[in-house]
Amino acid sequence: MIATAWIIVILGTLAVLHCYVFYPLWWRFIGARRPLLPVPPEQDESSLPTVSVIVVGYNEARCIARRVENLLQCDYPADKLEIIIASDGSDDGTERLASGSPRVQVRHFTERRGKVRVLNDVCPQAKGSILVLSDANVDFAPDTLRRLVTRFQDPKVACVCGKLCFRTREGEAHTESEGVYWKLETWLKQHEGGRGVLLGANGANYALRRDLWTGCPPEIVVEDLYVPLRLLMDGWHVVFESSALAYEDLPPALADEFGRRIRIGAGDFQILANCLPLLNPTHNLAAWVFFSHKVLRWIAPFFMLATLLGVLFLCLLKAPGSMLLGAACLAIMALTATGFSSLRLPGPLGRLASVSAYFATMNAALFFGFFRWLRGGQKTTWARTRRT
């Protein structure tokens, strides 16, 4: 029994370390040797493709006018740019505020059905050869559209994800923790996307060929993850373009994000069930990346729970070394609890506590998201996250 408990502790620890430590180290020392996809030269205006920017929003009256103005100011030929604002059952005047320019098409759906169903209606009617999907609460850099479409000169590229930059607020612990996490994610995206195996886009800033939009199953929650994975399964390249920038504000507090993360967690397990074929070794690098970056990370909460139970069992049996292991677990939990409290520790220890609390929140959301998915409780509609 002691041997079994040790095996559970060791395997659980290794699984969590692999997705958060060993996998990034693999890219640093081994994966980085793989050749990068060539980056095509910037196109002149005459050769730029037609683009349809589609923004789906629900009750975005506070930010939709600014979003429209931002899109109108993009450095892209007006005769090749279509802007579509789709209001998913908004009742706060979103569609009225979005219709201030003749260059903007506003589609108002009176019934609230969720982003995927709206995209399934709007995308087939778009005129651009490239679809750029975005959110209402972000801003593009002036050259973002040009940067995105440049990569489609490679005929094997099906989808391009831009870089999402968070506007930070100094002194807020969760803001700093999000920054640490997002820096790691962006670094991984650069390595994965540079080899054409980027697993997921971000809903704020990604593009794909219109003729490859085949629609999403209406029950899908996280379409910006499902679409790239489907394209990878079909043998296409999905790339990351770090110079195509979108900017977004973080919510005021970590608690404001928790409900959204549970919803996304349920969507992750939903996609795992739909995209299991990508784990087939015939998909080569894509299969390895999917297993290491997504699958293990999604089930990490269960590895951590099993590890804690294994440590508790070893302590109850008074196995050699178990007391030291138990003390280490208690120290980590105490540090995490401090990260959640209003009392912030000074210096590096305070930053570590904040990161630990952020890490715990992400995994708790995945844990609850799994059970929401299991009972079919995830919704395709969403509640707006509180913003400043």
What gap in Å lies between CA 158 and CA 238, rounded to an integer? 6
pLDDT tens digits for range 215-227: 999 889 999 999 9
Tokens of 14: 């290794």
C-alpha pair distances (Å), 175 with each of 168, 183, 333: 6, 12, 21
- Percent with pLDDT over 90 in the chain: 79
Contact status, residue 212 vs residue 130, Cβ threshold 8 Å: no
* Residue 183 confidence (pLDDT): 86
Per-residue pLDDT at 176 exceeds 60: no
Report the pLDDT averaged over residues 307-330. Answer: 94
pLDDT(258) > 60: yes
Report yes or no: 177 and 357 within 8 Å, Cβ to Cβ. Answer: yes
- Domain ranges in the chain are 15-47+137-388
Report the alpha-carbon distance of residue 239 to residue 200 in Å, rounded: 10
Pairing mode, strands 157-167 and 237-249: parallel
The pLDDT mean for the chain works out to: 91
Per the model's pLDDT, the better-predicted residue between 349 and 300 turns out to be 300
**What pLDDT sits at residue 169?**
58
CA angle 118, 123, 126 (to 5 degrees): 130
Over range 276-288, report the average pLDDT: 97
Query: Where residue 387 falls among pLDDT bands split at 50, 70, 90?
Result: very low
Lowest mean pLDDT among 94-103, 147-156, 337-346, 357-366: 337-346
Specify whether the CB–CB gap between 287 and 280 falls below 8 A. Answer: yes
Stronger pLDDT, 99 or 253, i.e. the higher one: 99
How far apart, in Å, do the first and last CA atoms of the chain sit?
Answer: 53
Per-residue confidence (pLDDT) for residue 388, from 0 to 100: 46
The string of pLDDT tens digits covering residues 131-153 is: 999 999 999 999 999 999 999 99
* DSSP output for 127-165: --SEEEEE-TTEEE-TTHHHHHHHGGGSTTEEEEEEEEE
Q: For 83, left (φ over 0), alpha (ψ -120 to 50), or beta?
A: beta
Cα–Cα separations (whole angstroms), residue 313 to 46, 98, 210, 367, 385: 69, 59, 55, 22, 40
The residue that leads in pLDDT, 351 or 31, is 31
Q: Mean of the pLDDT values across residues 327-344?
A: 87
* Alpha-carbon Rg for the chain in angstroms: 22
